[in-house]
Amino acid sequence: MTHAPKPEQDTIAAVRRFNRFYTRAIGVLDKAYLGSPYTLAENRVLYEIAHGEHLTPGRIAGELELDPGYLSRMLARLERDGLIARQRSAHDGRSVTLTLTQEGRDYFDGMDARTQAQVQALIGRLSTPQQDRLAGALDTARALLDRESAMAEVTLRPHRPGDMGWIIERHALVYMQEYGWNAGIEAVTARVCADFLDRFDPARERCWIAERGGERLGSVLLIKETDEVARLRLLLLDPAARGLGLGHRLVAECVAFARAAGFREIVLWTHQVLTAARKVYAAAGFTLEETWLHEAFGRPEVSETWRLNL
């Protein structure tokens, strides 16, 4: 009897497939990188020196997670070749800082141009939408795998000019990519956003944008439906922000604001396929009230109404 692979095993296999493809595509395994006399690791060290200030060998070893002895041998070669110079640190007389010489700067600028051309060759055949998808996927992968990025503080703020355009775009792309929905979801989102801006009542309505380091990660709106009923709309998390408890934070903000604004209940519309969102609603105390078949997004979906009594 054969067993289906576990999701974690599928993920490991996918990462390894991509690693094999990308290392081959950019020449990581070549003895020299992009036709230069230096390895990829040596070029990465030069990159750090070119973009850093007061860099010491210790800081570079820590940033790149390099063995100090291995790094020392690389630095000795780069110094012998006239690309880098050492000078006594002004902050710590026991240490040295590293800078590029003019020859090193000229070499680095040439390599930077070749690297740009290499990436352009990789993505040049892609359309603009495909390039946007690639950039989003790479940002998502980095955010999920980068421990520092994942731990950075996420803030919630009111909407600003441009945020509604982002909400519309992300709803269209995320739901198309993950659920196969058509342009109907973009049209619905655009109408909700336009109505919100046209009729915005700051005393009883609010939009929250989740943001980390200037990057938007999620959104939710609370809109006045009647004097006693508010409607929660457009809860969305970018794939890069999932697993951080952000959906619960956004919904909790809606509930607290609705109570303070004097509403007696909150109602929302969702779909059975959106299992993560449904768990968030249930955890916040919402209860499922009604279901029906909805086909406006290019495929039949079970729609649901949920309600929370305040």
Same domain, 237 and 272: yes
The residue that leads in pLDDT, 9 or 215, is 215
Model pTM? Answer: 0.56
| CATH value at residue 255 | 3.40.630.30
Is 267:232 a contact under the CB 8 Å cutoff?
yes
- Which among 11-25, 26-40, 151-165 has the top mean pLDDT? 151-165
Q: 112 and 175: one domain?
A: no
Q: Do 59 and 188 lie in a common domain?
A: no
130 located within any domain: no
- Please count the CA atoms within 13 angstroms of the CA of 253 that sit on its side-chain side: 21
286 and 196 co-located in one domain: yes
- Max mean pLDDT among 1-10, 55-64, 114-123, 257-266 falls in 257-266
- Assigned domain for 140 exists: no
In a domain, 23, yes or no: no
By CB neighbour count within 10 A (0-12 exposed, 13-18 middle, 19+ buried), where does 9 fall? exposed
What residues contact 36, with CB distance under 8 A and at least 6 apart?
43, 107, 111
Tell me whether residue 137 is in a domain: no
For residues 243 and 282, state if they share a domain: yes
Q: Residue 237: which of 143, 309, 160 has the closest Cα?
A: 143
* One domain for residues 161 and 198: yes
Claim to verify: residue 254 and residue 176 sit in the same structural domain: yes
Q: Are residues 300 and 162 in the same domain?
A: yes
| Whether 111 and 175 share a structural domain | no
255 neighbors 308 (Cβ within 8 angstroms): yes
CATH of the domain at 101: 1.10.10.10
- Band the pLDDT of 304: cuts 50, 70, 90: very high
Whether 165 and 118 share a structural domain: no
Are 154 and 268 within one domain?
A: yes
Is residue 255 one of the residues assigned to a domain?
A: yes
- In the chain, the number of structural domains is 2
pLDDT at 2 over 50: no
Does 47 reside within a domain?
A: yes
Examine residue 142 and state whether it is found in any structural domain, yes or no: no
The model's pLDDT over 147-171, given as tens digits with 9 standing for 90+, comes to: 555 556 788 999 999 999 999 999 9
Last residue of a domain, one of 125, 157, 179: 125
Looking at the fold, whether 75 and 221 belong to one and the same domain comes out as no
Distance CA 294, CA 272 (A): 11
List, in sequence order, every residue forming a beta bridge with 237; answer none if it has no partner: 218
The answer as to whether 1 is a domain residue is no
Residue range(s) defining the domain that contains residue 284: 149-309
